Amino acid sequence: MRKPFILLATMAFAALCGQAKVKLPHIICDNMVLQQNTEARLWGWDKPGTTVAVTVSWNQQVYKAKTGKDGRWLVKVATPAASYTPLSVTFDDGEKTTIGNVLSGEVWVCAGQSNMEMPMRGFGNCPVEGYNDEVLAARDYKGIHYVKVPSVMSMTPQEDANCEWKEISAQTVGEASATGYFFAQAVNKALDVPVGLVIANKGGTRVESWLTKENLQKYTNEPLDTMGIVKGHEWDYHRQLVWGNGTFNPILNYTVRGIIYYQGCSNVGDPGDQYSDRLQLLVKQWREQFGLGEIPFYFVEIAPYFYDKADGDWGARLREQQFKASTKIPNSGLVCTNDLAYPYESTQIHPAQKRPVGRRLAQLALNQTYGMDEVWCKSPSFKDMKIVGDTIHIHLNDDYGSISRFEDIQGFEVAGDDKVFHPAKAVHFWRPGGGYWDETIQITCPEVKQPVALRYCFKNFQLGNLKNGAGLPLFPFRTDQW
């Protein structure tokens, strides 16, 4: 597919390895953020048999590595506690190379498709709410840096990508991932530490786009030859394997805290549990590739969108798969977005409200990764139900002791044996006694006298308004398997 490019890159790499001066991957450069309080990996290439010495401005140690026959070298450097004090790193193989304005802080990967890729300045006809305000406030977030890895396809895993770290300013904020940037803002303010974002994603990609050749061979029937990949998907962004090889593989040596992920639209229509199984597989793969243990994985439910028919349920079934994945993937969390599209955005695949998406991801990280128990981070979800006559009573998980609305609750539907769903009325129900079923959400529907099944916002585009004590929306759900 990209043989001329790969051949040229290989020839350039061989030429560089023949030189004496150390070559660094582009991601190791001025303005980078190192993961604090860990052993951060630094690596590169040099002439085979060369000793590379690495010194840092924050301690007196000298870290050394000798290149092998392939010219590669790697060292692990003890990093200091987070600070806004600029640091430097020097690489010496007889000729010194120094990078500066390095910060120690928290590093997160921003992965997925276009709703994660979407920059602060938005896409064409797809604005991000609050852009001008963020340009004016950018000077308040100088501790946030980002590196945008170019979206590149490759049939083979690539070791480098043409990228550079940038410090947030009025001039640079527009190109940062909006979801990632709002996530970084919240983490930066809550912890008062620098935050580095490694933005490695591609709009329109499927979960299979990021799986390795080995996992695709073992767990899918996707073709893995160049022509099979091209013929199988007219749109290049849907293609399996190649985006992980070209766009994600170059960052796998970088030491990070965790991954935030927003993807799924291109997998709408996948059968059964295929998506949840493959997402679980992808997370396992990435954790193994990073080699940093069970790093946190926080991801976003796809937003309401009509998918050619607002009343259809293809999108809802994919959201159901995402929820299932969140219960199967350890050290993970899912953000609900059912309330984050405006009524006029039913045909907008890139909703404008990215600030709450990033903030909700940050709430998960602050609570589950950084131990801030005071931050309520979970959306409510369906727990159980009881049918009494023509009335359904339900309980929710993670309501934090309350629901946010007693009247005009929207989004519930009820069906009887005919499997036809009708809009239902839901109210908060309470009676003295203190029993388990004495405080519930009570749902009734005049058209259904003998209810059998209940759904909440289980459509491609349906906006509910029920939230918990944290103001987080109820995950869409269904009690049937029709």
* pLDDT tens digits, 370-404: 999 999 999 999 999 999 999 999 999 999 999 99
21 vs 306, residue with greater confidence: 306
Give CA–CA dist 146/260, Å, rounded: 14
b/e map 250-260, b = 16+ CB within 10 Å: bbbbbbbbbbb
Give 163's contacts (C-beta < 8 A, 6+ positions apart): 26, 27, 147, 148, 149, 150
- The model carries a pTM of 0.95
pLDDT tens digits for 256-290? 999 999 999 999 999 999 999 999 999 999 999 99
pLDDT value at 4 more than 70: no
If residue 76 lies in a helix (H) or strand (E), which one and from where to where? strand 72-78
Bridge partners, residue 429, by sequence = 440
> Rounded CA gap, 112 and 298, in Å?
11
Average pLDDT of the chain to the nearest whole number = 95
pLDDT, position 434: 85
Mean predicted confidence (pLDDT) in 146-157: 98
Q: Residue 20 above 90 pLDDT?
A: no
**Mean pLDDT score, 228-244:** 96
- What integer pLDDT is reported at residue 9 of this predicted model? 44
Say what the pLDDT of residue 17 is. 39
**For the segment 407-435, what is each residue's pLDDT rounded down to a tens digit?**
899 999 999 999 999 999 999 999 998 89
Q: Which residues pair with 113 in a beta bridge?
A: none
Reported as a pLDDT band with limits 50, 70 and 90, residue 21 is confident
Question: What percent of the chain is modeled with pLDDT above 70?
Answer: 96
Percent over 90 (pLDDT), the chain = 94
pLDDT at residue 79 is higher than 60: yes
Q: Identify the band that residue 349 occupies on the pLDDT scale cut at 50, 70 and 90.
A: very high
**Does residue 122 register a pLDDT over 70?**
yes
- Structure confidence at residue 118 as a pLDDT band (50, 70, 90): very high
Count the helix, strand and coil residues of the chain and give each as a percent rounded to the nearest 5: 30, 25, 45
Give the Cα separation of 333 and 297 in Å (integer).
Answer: 7
pLDDT tens digit string along 80-95? 999 999 999 999 999 9
Task: Extract the tokens encoding 452.
Answer: 């059998």
Q: Report pLDDT digits (tens) over 312-346.
A: 999 999 999 999 999 999 999 999 999 999 999 99
Which of helix, strand or coil describes residue 394?
strand
Task: State residue 13's pLDDT score.
Answer: 43
Which pLDDT belongs to residue 16?
Answer: 41
Using pLDDT thresholds of 50, 70 and 90, give the confidence band for residue 8.
Answer: very low
